[in-house]
Structure 1
Amino acid sequence: MRKTKWTKLLFAMMLVLVLALAACSKDSGGSGDKAKGGGNKNKTAEKGGKSEDGIYSIEDFNEDTSNDGEVKKGGEITFGLVSDSPFKGTLNWTFYDGDPDSQILKWVDDALLDIDKDHNYKDGAASIEVSDDKKTYTFKIKDNVNWQDGEPVKAEDWAFAIETIANKDYDGPRYDSTLKNIKGMEEYHNGKADKVSGLEVVDEKTLKMTFIDPTPSLLAGGIWPYAMPKHIFKDIPVKDMTKSDAVRKNPIGSGPFKVDSIVPGESVTLVANKDYWRGEPNLDKVTIKVIDPSVVVKELQNGSVDMVSSFPTDQYPDNADMKNVEFLGNVDMAYTYIGFKLGTWDKKKGQVKPNPDAKMGDVNLRKAMWYAVDNDAVGEKFYHGLRWSADTLIDPAHPTWRADDVETPKYDPEKAKELLDEAGFEDKDGDGYREDKDGKELVINFASMSGGDTAEPIAKYYIQAWKEVGLHVELLDGRLQEFEAFYDRVGNGGNDDPKVDIFQGAWGTGDDVDPSGLYGKDAMFNFSRYESAENDKLLKEGLSDKAFDMDYRKDVYKKWQELMVEDVPVFPTLFRAQLVPVNKRVANYTIAHEDREPFKYQIGVTE
């Protein structure tokens, strides 16, 4: 799945739910310290297994299976879709709105563009040519790229998908600011034009897209890369497409496997697409079935599934020596963080409204709370080293953009106390807790989510760490918050519960490094409600014409990372490993973030 601006934020919301279910709440190499986010690329030696001290590193894992046996032609595998609820069965990229369905779609329908190691689009099923002014992108679909019913994938299919999303009757989630950037898009959406002027079908296989405001992010998820078979959907009213048989019962794509049968909500049987444009698949059959999180280990042990969509890292130590399984690992494109409430959301203006009198308004108070916590210890104690202390707000899966030399607070409770003293937060009544600068009682309300065995002890650790430097922090309402309640109170929908002072959240960062969707003044997901002129300036520069120069953009995001360390509207707590167990009979499987060999058509079994 390519993470466009909208899907990036959807994934962020979904990630926090996953964290809530699995723990407390997605390459590598950028940090310099490989044990802290470095990665092993394309190594073949099998790794993993028990650790003598119970502490692991992402360096203990490969991205690719190490099975180098002879792949048998034919055979089948079973993919475990880990979920505690049925999948919706919205099997078309244009309409899906959840991770379970996307896990199925990845086998069935390819994007027309591939992703490189820097998370930018590159030539795939279609080639890319960019005009000198960066406004017009010309895509030419390869001649051998066909739908699974034998019809060619055409330029009009790609344009049709985008026009469907822009249709006023479209009921999916993808009509966003990225699509609105296509010339003539809003006129078409509002019924003032009968076609999108920025979409030009040049010939059967060539499509031109012209954008109003060119930015470097267009090639990092800012272009919708999926086509729809117009010859199937053209006679279905847009308002009826989501529930149509073409989406629910008989979906087709351009990928290596095609849908053979569906048991709604439970399983999907796929068979090889022998005319797949990259090459004929090694496997004859793939069965995707839903399995409950509680039986993942059992299903892997008895061979009922060959691989699964997700595996909680905190369960790895107890299962590291599973005999029939190899664990693959990568740095996840995500991080957890502590956020400080610095304002509210102005729903009328659609932007942040800073509060100059916010309880957490003193930057030294915020910095002190960062110095007070030992996130290395949290990663080792609760995640056995498979989550580790985070430094900046650009994760190690984006090594091109990370600033490795930014000085960030490290665990130092004495430094925390010094900052609080200097800022005027003192314990004047001798009760062990510091009062505010006016000598009044200071109680900081902390919102954190329930779910999993580690959620409560981690929250309690943070509260105790802050207590040790004299800060009185209490859980909001004296308890952990359930997922929906947490988001309703922290800021979803522009709501801000005035009782929330600080909160523990998580973000999936997606392919595009641009952080404006999470920290811009007009970003509803900017839950800290942080706003500053310098932040506005840097976020704008990161999307400017000058930012097409990679060195310039890298310098902008280095300055932005430094600014966020200086202003501390939030501070990152943990980066995380992504672990995927795969049966040892499977060969040519990868969890790399970039599109490269081995591709899914190359997956096979050796026994």
Structure 2
Amino acid sequence: MKRKTLVSALAAVMSASVLLTACGQSSSTTTSSDNEKKTDLTKANVTVIKAEDTNKLPSVAKNRKDTMVIGMVAPDSGNLIPYLTSNSYNYYLTEMMFDCLGNLNDDGTPTPGIATWTTSSDGLTYTFKIKNGIKYSNGTEMTADDVKFTFMYLLDPSYKGKMFDPTTTYIKGWEDFNKGKTKDLEGIQVIDKNTVKITLEQKNATAIYTLAHTMILSKDYYGKNYKPGDVSSVDALQNSPMGSGAWILKSKKDGQEYDFDANENYWQGKPKIKHIIVKNVTDDTNIQELKTAGIDLTDPTCSEENVSELKDAGFINMRISPTWGYGIINLNTTNPMFSDVKVRQALTYGLDRTNIDKAVFGKYAQVINTPLPVVSWAYDTTGVTNYKYDPDKANKLLDEAGWKKGSDGIRTKDGKKFEIHFLQSTGNSVNDKFVPIAKENYKKLGINFVAEPMEFKQVLNKTMAGDFEMSFMGQSFSTADPDQASTFKTNGTQNYGKYSNKDVDALCDKELTTLDKNSRKQVFHDLYKKLADEMPVIPLYERNDMYAISSRITGIEPTPFKDYTNYFWKAEIK
């Protein structure tokens, strides 16, 4: 259902944390002075590399006694309403200010938090009971009305976000409400001040992950002027966020700095750190900022070079773990160049993905052939095509697809030359390595590969609008369930390449309505085998994430399945 996609504002280094399903694979933490032994991406281990000489901590950090500074790639301007945002870093900011009905275990499974819940025997009705005294940062109390309002906003026909897909919610009456036929959402009933009942039209394997992990908006604050069919009054407050989370936004300079104070009314207890500054960094500056103590925490590219450099600094702790996400090449399948499956297969066989991954991450990434992380319980490569680099096979497929090489070595079909325009986000380590390799690889296939450099925000906006031929992005999940119907189903809200296949649609529907884990795993296998054959996107890698944290900060222990922002409220400064 709800996913955090596209979306690393590192434009492709995918630093969003990994979220694992509730299906048997638990996280474990290992301390190591030699990270070389702990790079198995098939296990959800967290490798901890401890600082070796904390005396090297610069004095500027020691003097920052009540403030923690976080280094993030610049979020978009505005977009500080949950699920209106379009990148992971805006999402992190909203996680600091808003809370969900449930908390997350370290393995990503939902657990009671602001609310407890029960499920009916038929699996269709979820009843949430909000604890007494849960307050927003303006002092007003959270109620069941806020829960209903939040889902009405997300299911409203005028909702402009991409992170909530109404077609996969199955909340009773959602479609009539979403199409403006009704003014009320039938499937959500407010029972009393603290109790809300949510009824589904059919069973949904992802329901509790979505319902318990949706950040709640105050109806009193955001919904004063809301009318079904018009969310403009809600969206107008995207630069003035107010939630029930641990942190209150006090000031901001979009793209530069976001300043937060601790929320004294926070229901889990007042945070131990008084102030947090979120500071803009880039993939080129974050390591240096951390080494000079300009920041206390960041999530740099997990490469052998960066690990070595941070170890040498002496005072920095590192946490390394597999990403619950992946890197992909997006293809606009409505473009005649990419509408033929043989062409998409050829582009995959003809791309030296292993060389690209090694150039960026060293041993901290691996090639995948399906758009699903290796650490997922649903991952199964049995019978899945292995697209090992094979230019000869790629050339043969292009011949079969009717693209013939001319005297200049470039392929043509129906009078059109095969020329790919690639949206290249600048200042990004993956794109910097991908472009020259792709250009050389595709030249051997008779394809002219043209990179068009631009800022990541432009790449993101063009990709989301379908105004592209090829682009690179990171995909990550906002819940621990591996459902990706919104990405691959026809007209899915995050299906930016406009891919459409009836068999894939049917499999997406089937996995959503299959509750038994083993049966659902088989459906996922069929789905991802089909996607590997179809290649609507080109999977590039699954990689490791790395969080680099100054030794003066304790209590931030992100796992592969839980965002580091969830730990800020209990962090401490030594």
Q: TM-score range by the shorter chain?
A: 0.7 to 0.9
| Residue 77 of structure 1, CA deviation | 3.8
| Residue 589 of structure 1, CA deviation | 0.8
2:489 and 2:501 in contact (8 A); partners too: no
Counterpart residue number, 2:422: 447
Matches of 1:563 and 1:150, distance apart in 2? 51
Matches of 1:318 and 1:324, distance apart in 2? 13
Counterpart residue number, 1:34: none
Counterpart residue number, 1:139: 128
| Residue 222 of structure 1, CA deviation | 5.8
Matches of 2:503 and 2:91, distance apart in 1? 38
2:110 and 2:208 in contact (8 A); partners too: yes
Scaled by the length of structure 1, what TM-score is found? 0.74
Deviation per CA, 1:265-306: give whole Å up to 9, x if none.
433231253x6444554x141322323425433432232322
Work out which of the two has the higher radius of gyration on C-alpha atoms and give 1 or 2: 1
Counterpart residue number, 2:69: 79
Matches of 1:494 and 1:304, distance apart in 2? 38
1:413 matched to 2:390? The reply is yes
1:79 and 1:289 in contact (8 A); partners too: yes
Deviation per CA, 1:349-383: give whole Å up to 9, x if none.
xxxxxx6xx576263x5444433433222222232
1:473 matched to 2:454? The reply is no
2:251 and 2:260 in contact (8 A); partners too: yes
CA change 1:585–1:112 in 2 (3 A) is: same
Deviation per CA, 1:528-562: give whole Å up to 9, x if none.
55433432332221223xx1111111101101111
Deviation per CA, 1:304-332: give whole Å up to 9, x if none.
32213x42345725633222211222323
Equivalence map 1:485-500=2 (5 Å): 492-495=464-467, 500=469
CA RMSD in angstroms, aligned pairs only: 4.6
Counterpart residue number, 2:91: 102
What is the number of equivalent residue pairs in this alignment?
546
1:434 and 1:441 in contact (8 A); partners too: no
2:300 and 2:548 in contact (8 A); partners too: yes
Gaps of 5+ in 1: 31-38, 345-354
Deviation per CA, 1:461-505: give whole Å up to 9, x if none.
12323445xx112124x755665776787x643557xxx4x6555
Deviation per CA, 1:389-442: give whole Å up to 9, x if none.
122111135x1111143443253537626955994989888x69586899x997
Matches of 2:419 and 2:179, distance apart in 1? 47
SS in structure 2 of the partner of residue 580 of structure 1: strand
Which amino acid in the other structure matches residue 507 of structure 1?
Q
1:393 matched to 2:393? The reply is no
Matches of 1:97 and 1:487, distance apart in 2? 8
SS in structure 1 of the partner of residue 118 of structure 2: strand
Matches of 1:253 and 1:28, distance apart in 2? 23
Which amino acid in the other structure matches residue 534 of structure 1?
D
Counterpart residue number, 2:60: none
1:584 matched to 2:570? The reply is no
Which amino acid in the other structure matches residue 101 of structure 2?
L
Tell which deviates more after alignment, 576-585 or 311-320: 311-320
1:554 matched to 2:512? The reply is no
SS in structure 1 of the partner of residue 360 of structure 2: helix
Matches of 2:267 and 2:386, distance apart in 1? 50
Matches of 1:319 and 1:147, distance apart in 2? 42
Matches of 2:345 and 2:369, distance apart in 1? 13
1:287 matched to 2:266? The reply is no
Residue number among 441, 445, 461 corresponding to 2:437 in the alignment: 461
1:299 matched to 2:309? The reply is no
Which amino acid in the other structure matches residue 402 of structure 1?
Y
CA change 1:527–1:603 in 2 (3 A) is: closer
Residue number among 464, 467, 475 corresponding to 1:507 in the alignment: 475
SS in structure 2 of the partner of residue 220 of structure 1: helix
1:111 and 1:125 in contact (8 A); partners too: yes
Tell which deviates more after alignment, 404-413 or 187-196: 187-196
Residue number among 323, 340, 346 corresponding to 1:361 in the alignment: 340
| Residue 122 of structure 1, CA deviation | 3.6
SS in structure 2 of the partner of residue 542 of structure 1: helix
Which amino acid in the other structure matches residue 326 of structure 1?
N
Counterpart residue number, 1:93: 82
Equivalence map 1:84-483=2 (5 Å): 84=74, 88=78, 92-93=81-82, 99-115=88-104, 119=108, 121-143=110-132, 145-148=134-137, 152-165=141-154, 177=166, 181-185=170-174, 195-221=184-210, 225-230=214-219, 232=221, 235=224, 239-243=232-236, 252-258=242-248, 261-265=250-254, 266-271=257-262, 273=264, 276-279=266-269, 281=271, 283-293=272-282, 295-308=285-298, 310-313=299-302, 316-317=306-307, 319-320=309-310, 321-338=312-329, 342-343=333-334, 361=340, 363=342, 366-397=344-375, 399-413=376-390, 416=393, 420=397, 423=400, 433=409, 443-452=418-427, 455-468=431-444, 471-476=445-450, 479-480=452-453
1:338 and 1:503 in contact (8 A); partners too: yes
Matches of 1:442 and 1:231, distance apart in 2? 57
1:43 matched to 2:43? The reply is no
| Residue 113 of structure 1, CA deviation | 1.5
| Residue 590 of structure 1, CA deviation | 1.9
Counterpart residue number, 1:18: 10
2:320 and 2:545 in contact (8 A); partners too: yes
| Residue 84 of structure 1, CA deviation | 4.4
Matches of 2:222 and 2:338, distance apart in 1? 55
Which amino acid in the other structure matches residue 79 of structure 1?
V
1:83 and 1:100 in contact (8 A); partners too: yes
SS in structure 1 of the partner of residue 379 of structure 2: coil
2:84 and 2:161 in contact (8 A); partners too: yes
SS in structure 1 of the partner of residue 214 of structure 2: coil
| Residue 592 of structure 1, CA deviation | 1.9
SS in structure 2 of the partner of residue 140 of structure 1: strand
Which amino acid in the other structure matches residue 461 of structure 1?
I
CA change 1:48–1:174 in 2 (3 A) is: same
2:170 and 2:204 in contact (8 A); partners too: no
CA change 1:585–1:65 in 2 (3 A) is: farther
Counterpart residue number, 2:507: 538
| Residue 171 of structure 1, CA deviation | 7.6
CA change 1:65–1:181 in 2 (3 A) is: farther
* Percent of residue pairs identical: 17
Which amino acid in the other structure matches residue 602 of structure 1?
K
1:28 and 1:331 in contact (8 A); partners too: no
1:603 matched to 2:571? The reply is yes
Deviation per CA, 1:43-83: give whole Å up to 9, x if none.
2525467x79xx977799836786899xxxx9634132424
| Residue 132 of structure 1, CA deviation | 3.1
SS in structure 1 of the partner of residue 382 of structure 2: coil
SS in structure 1 of the partner of residue 512 of structure 2: coil
SS in structure 2 of the partner of residue 562 of structure 1: helix
Matches of 1:166 and 1:240, distance apart in 2? 15
Matches of 2:314 and 2:204, distance apart in 1? 49
2:316 and 2:548 in contact (8 A); partners too: yes
| Residue 582 of structure 1, CA deviation | 0.5
Gaps of 5+ in 2: 55-63
